[in-house]
Structure 1
Amino acid sequence: MRSSLSQGWLMLLLTNSPFWVGLAAGIRGASQAIFSVPVGSLADRFDRRKILIVTQSTGALATLTIAVLVLTHVIRPWHLFIYLIVAGAVYSANRPCVNGLIYDVVGEHRLLNASAFQSMAGSLFRIFGALGGGMIIDKVGVGENYLLISACYLAGTGALLLLKTPVVIRRAPEPLFSEVAAGLRYALRTRRLRHLLALSLMNESFGFSFFTMLPVMARDVLRVGGIGMGYLTAVNGVGQLAATLRIVSRGDVRNKGRMVVTAALGFGVFVTLFGLSQWFLVSLIFATLIGYMASTYDATMATVVQLAASDKMRGRILGLYSFTLSLSPLGGLITGTVATLLNTPLAIALSGAVVITGALGLYPRLHAVTFSTAEVSLETGQGRVPFSGDRTGTDVAMHE
């Protein structure tokens, strides 16, 4: 099960308050926001695989610590807050390094399909992890579920140790602050990046707070407990899997701008409908459709953000993109506060309405953009060597 859902369920057990569930998400989001931008610069400097090995190992140790505290019945909210700071830092490092590593391996013409395959793997993990995690929480306990999450971190570390990665010839590093400032200036003056990051800010701040409030919806509104939360998460994964299969079957899509903004619009619509639903079976349908739209949006956004950036700025732009992702748990804090003042269904529906408004506002600016190499080179004034099968155009050679 997603660690963010496990943290929400654990905080709900400890405090019985939607506000504290949102606060926990906000602390994690604040940690991600603080670390994401400088880590993006580090992803341009150092071996991304080695960074990921360190972060996955750290995540495994931190999650194991929470499992032990829960199983020994000494867990307190402040323990979880410390863990969430570490988890936020781990996530902020993982996202730009994973995405950048995928680009290094497959190149731009296969990037959308590779992003879809990455999302597919996450969908399969979400389906089986959610069902298993929900049953573990209900039948055994949340501590055992954290043991499972720790084992998953370790499995990821093992896979990275076996991975043969490209050797990328990197530029001489500049002072970290100068690199971060250069990345910010580049994003602000590149029109497509501005629009994409604005769309990501809107979606992450409001739409994806749906996941933060899922434990509250499952226990207090739909009254289906941990197993029901597992089903909601699993069907969301089914929707994501269906979307990734659809993307893979289509191959490279020319009009990626229309694809990303339309998916964002549909995502907002179904989040709103989910918030308004009071019936479990109807909620399962909307959770599935949310997964479909969210996966289409995520895979396409992860692709176009990289295609809209020049090679030397890619890591820093991915760091900024990771920063927008950190606003998802911070948005959970906002949604949790609104849920405490009003109610949880209305808070989720209002979040979806904000996403709809943002997508409609950005549709005229993004719907006709293809994010081709020629477009990016023309806008940024920086030529790029086209991808070729032997990867020599990007100074990459494979380890033997």
Structure 2
Amino acid sequence: MLLLENPGFRRLWISSLFSDVLTVTLVMCSGLVVLEISDSAFWVGAVFGFNGAALTICSFIGGLLADRFYRRRYTLVAIAILIDMVGVLLIAILISVDKIMVWHVIFAAVLNGIAISIRMPSRNALTLDLVGKEKLVNASAANLVSWQITAIASPLIIGSIIVNYGMSWAYFLMVIAGCLAFISALTLNSSYVSYAKLDNSQNDDNARSLIEGFRYVLSVPGVRSLLLLAVVAESFVWSHESILAVMATRVLNVDAFGYASLLSVGAVGALISLVFISFSKQLAPRVLLLVLTLGLFSISLLLFSLSSWFPVSLILIAIAYAFAMGYETMISALLQLVVPDGMRGRVLSFQTSTWGFTGLAGLYMGAIAGAFSAAIAIGIGALVVLIYLAINFKQLLKLDVVVEEGS
């Protein structure tokens, strides 16, 4: 197994695991805190939107840093974790002294978006540095496994802490998780990277480097097509996350525990898929697999939007998230294979920036859900992605030639 064979990647994975605990818990608790303070669904969505905006805007800087400080990517990961910890610790203290306000939570959400925008391009680029191209798909799946482990366990643990000890202790737990992630990141150094390069771009102008990244993405058809596909997926199919609670309570007619069950079962489906991919020895990144998994993800989510029976919905969300992880693994691996090493951090920052569209999409998803229903909003998003794939199917398959050249 890759985690046992590669000590450098294992340290990076452990750091990612605890970072994911912090992020998953923060997303869960932020909405609860804001809802308790303001009793407004709008401000809950606003927190999600500010986080997405910060992530989208700052990801380009994160990619620039990942390329500029090629041999210090592990340091960038540690710095990003510290940024996250500052916001979380601030909220924990303010809740403890009963001085918490909505703008405090928004501030922490923005810091979280900035931290992710720095951490993810460096972590993803460092993954390839540590494992090489032959093991990249397995490593990408292993990275996603850490997220799904936290998605299953963290809500249950944090929910128990909130009920028994209060919200502030949930935030203090995030600080502890951040400390463990920070320590693990610091134990990783350049000696674990078997083919690290010198920083050839340290004297480059930052603005010029960033502009070069934009020009590269816009001028290379393969990269442009993959990133556009990512934007479509985040904006229309992953956007269901912002109104999943509405779907659970108003369409499926379940309580908070039922909503938590949807999240946990979905994470279980995703985890099973990722474990299968991680252990697969013959699975190579191919655009056909990318298109198929995204298409099946969209179809499963469309069926989920049509279901009003909770047991069936549980099965469908598990299937949907299983295919979703196949898509996420493939697009992460493909983007790394089609770009040169000197441009990899900046290109991966574009991928990270697309994740912010999930938060931004919550604005229009909420509007559709309010005017019609959450089921219609989710169904429309899934249909948009399926139509996009059908229109661009042949063009996307041509990218396999580019991937083979990059490999």
> Shorter-chain-normalised TM-score: which range?
0.7 to 0.9
Q: Distance in 1 between matches of 2:106 and 2:360?
A: 14
Distance 2:260 2:310 in 1: 12
- 1:336 CA drift (Å): 1.9
In structure 1, what is the equivalent of residue 198 of structure 2?
A: 169
Work out the CA distance in 2 between the residues paired with 1:8 and 1:278.
Answer: 25
Deviation for aligned residue 1:360: 2.5
Q: Secondary structure at the match of 1:264?
A: helix
* Superposed displacement of residue 219, structure 1: 4.5
Pick aligned residue for 1:305 from 331, 335, 356: 335
Q: In structure 2, how many angstroms separate the alpha carbons of the residues matched to 1:281 and 1:147?
A: 35
Seen in structure 2, the aligned counterparts of structure 1 residues 263 and 27 have a Cα distance that, compared at 3 Å, is same
Deviations along 1:75-133, whole A, 9 cap, x unmatched? 22222111111111011111101101101111111111110111112212221113323
Structure 1 window deviating more from structure 2 (235-244 vs 346-355): it is 346-355
Q: Gapped runs of 5+ residues in structure 1?
A: 377-385, 387-400
Alpha-carbon displacement from aligned partner over 1:357-385 (angstroms, at most 9, x marks no partner): 22323322223543676523xxxxxxxxx
CA distance in 1, matches of 2:267, 2:308: 21
CA distance in 1, matches of 2:299, 2:379: 9
* Residue 328 (str. 1) matches residue 351 (str. 2): no
Give the residue type in structure 2 aligned to 1:200: A
**Could you say if the C-alpha distance between residues 355 and 10 of structure 1 is closer, same or farther in structure 2, counting changes exceeding 3 Å?**
farther
2:93–2:168 Cα contact (<8 Å) kept: yes
The CA distance in 2 between the partners of 1:79 and 1:216, in whole Å, is: 25
Distance 1:224 1:13 in 2: 20
**Matched pairs, number:** 377
**Of 104, 107, 112, which residue of structure 1 is paired with 2:129?**
104
Tell me, yes or no, if the aligned pair for 1:21 and 1:212 is still in contact at 8 Å.
Answer: no
Return the alpha-carbon distance in structure 2 between the equivalents of residues 72 and 218 of structure 1: 34
Q: Which residue of 2 aligns with 1:389?
A: none
* Partner residue, 1:40: 63
How far residue 25 of structure 1 moved from its aligned partner, in angstroms, is: 1.3
Match for residue 70 of structure 1? Answer: 95
Q: Deviations over 1:264-312 (max 9, x none)?
A: 1122222233333333322221221222122111111111011111111
Question: Judging changes above 3 Å, is the alpha-carbon distance between structure 1 residues 252 and 20 closer, same or farther for their aligned structure 2 residues?
Answer: farther
Separation of aligned partners in 1, 2:87 and 2:149: 24
- Tell me the residue number matched to 1:87: 112
| Aligned counterparts, 1:170-319, within 5 A | 170-173=199-202, 174-254=204-284, 256-319=286-349
2: CA distance between counterparts of 1:222 and 1:154? 39
Q: Does 1:22 align with 2:79?
A: no
RMSD (Å) for aligned C-alpha atoms: 2.3
Determine whether 1:55 maps to 2:84: no
**Runs of at least 4 residues off by over 6 Å:** none
Question: In structure 1, what is the equivalent of residue 14 of structure 2?
Answer: none
How far off its partner does 1:223 sit? Answer: 4.8
Identify if the C-alpha distance between structure 1 residues 294 and 35 changes in structure 2 by more than 3 Å, giving closer, same or farther. Answer: same
Q: Distance in 2 between matches of 1:58 and 1:123?
A: 23
Confirm or deny: 8 A CA contact 1:57 1:153 kept in the other structure: yes
CA, structure 1 residues 263+158, in 2 after alignment: closer, same or farther (shift >3 Å)?
same
Q: What letter is aligned with 1:5?
A: M
Please, which moves more after superposition, 302-311 or 233-242? 233-242
Equivalent in the alignment of 2:13: none
Amino acid at match of 1:290: A
Hey, which of these two has a bigger chunk of helix by percent?
A: 2
Matches of 1:124 and 1:54, distance apart in 2:
24
Q: From 335, 339, 360, give the equivalent of 2:390.
A: 360
Question: Letter of the aligned partner of 2:48 in structure 1?
Answer: A
- Report the CA distance between 1:244 and its aligned residue: 1.1
Secondary structure at the aligned position of 2:400 is classed as coil
Deviation, 1:154, is 1.9
Could you tell me the TM-score, scaled by structure 2's length? Answer: 0.85
**Which structure 2 segments of 5+ residues have no match?**
1-20
Which amino acid is 1:41 matched to? L
Superposition deviation, residue 250 in structure 1: 2.8
Q: Aligned to 1:84, what secondary structure does the other structure show? A: helix
**Structure 1 length normalisation: TM-score?**
0.87
Partner of 2:154: 129
Distance 2:146 2:112 in 1: 21
CA distance in 1 between counterparts of 2:175 and 2:201 reads 36
State the alpha-carbon separation in 2 of the partners of residues 224 and 60 from structure 1: 34
